[in-house]
Structure 1
Amino acid sequence: MRLLVASRNAKKLAELRRVLESEGIVGIEPIGLDEVPDYPEEPEDGATFADNALIKARSGWRATGLACLADDSGLAVDALNGMPGVLSARWAGRHGDDAANNALLLAQLSDVPDERRGAAFFSSCALVYSARDSEQSTRDSAHSTTYPVERVAEGRWAGHVARAPRGEGGFGYDPLFLPEGSDRSAAELTPGEKDADSHRGRALRALAPALRELAERG
């Protein structure tokens, strides 16, 4: 079955495919927004990562009828009272401008000593798919009611902010994020290493039971 991932980020799709493989989940084909007809995407104006993930997943499910998985994630910096948080992707003013976002964050932390540069990545993954009222379906499938089933899982990845970008992998704030216990940035980790510890990897693995159930439904 096809699973819409509410993103145009090929690296997020690849990450989900790796998690599905590692969890032994077969029968799900993740596709991105570029592979379905355009539809109006609702503003991501939620107060939390979970709110925004659900906004995106519900929108994709309603527009396409496909099961939809959406992620909202960001970096919370201690010295900035948890910001950029849900504003991470547009911290510098334009959505998805990684270079500008990183440059602004470094400027804001330029005078912050190493011991106060603690931070954590957070991710909320929301899965929305169709279900039918089982009792009514049994009586009369032609008049059964379709409604959404919603599942949300969260992940956290602790570390601190480096003083300069390091590494060419990953995306977003990965070049600036040094995970706890590591002397390499998130952008210097292999995809497998990142999947094992990252905020999104943890959230996706927490959703594995729901994804496995979805795969079994076919």
Structure 2
Amino acid sequence: MSEKNGVSRKDYKKTSKKNNSQEPKKWVKRVLLAFITLFLLVMVAGGALFTYYASSAPELTEEDLVGTFSTELVDKDGDIFYTLGGENREYAEANEYPDVMINAMTAIEDQRFNDHFGIDPLGIGRAAFGYVTNRGQIVGGGSTITQQLVKLSVFSKEKADQTLERKAQEAWLAIQLEREKSKEQIITLYLNKIHMAGNVYGVATA
């Protein structure tokens, strides 16, 4: 068996084969590392942008959450003959809403309502993707009931106002609201807040 520079032909072939088999693994590691680095950069940038937007979020007051009420004028017999201004809303307490109503609402609007802390990360991701692919406009749902309550209380419902900045502020206020109020309080406020038709607001009013 001949040798070349002190290495046998057999050993040389084994070394070459080993080096060739390691090349694809190196490329996989490099690509994987690049994706991980890119993901971390996006996360850091996204976190910084969220913090910047959240810092300018408006104040959310109890009056905002409850909403306005109309004034009812009654005659000498106690019958209503005229309603002045405001939103036509009859506020109902938590125990006035049957469980079937609450279960139906959460099943339709927010299936993980009892488990999340105010936001749904997947919903936020969809909103961010919609912002990028639709030239600065948020497209699609994904908001939790808590976020919807915040939007109904302090933000405009106009489509043109559904920006990434507004979505970030909405999410931040929803997280804060979940820390201050129970799930029962939040769902009750939401059921009394939502617009039903015309000047009718709240499920109890409808």
Compute the TM-score of the two structures, normalised by the length of structure 2.
0.27
Structure 1 or 2: larger strand share?
Answer: 1
Structure-1-length-normalised TM-score? 0.26
Higher helix share: 2
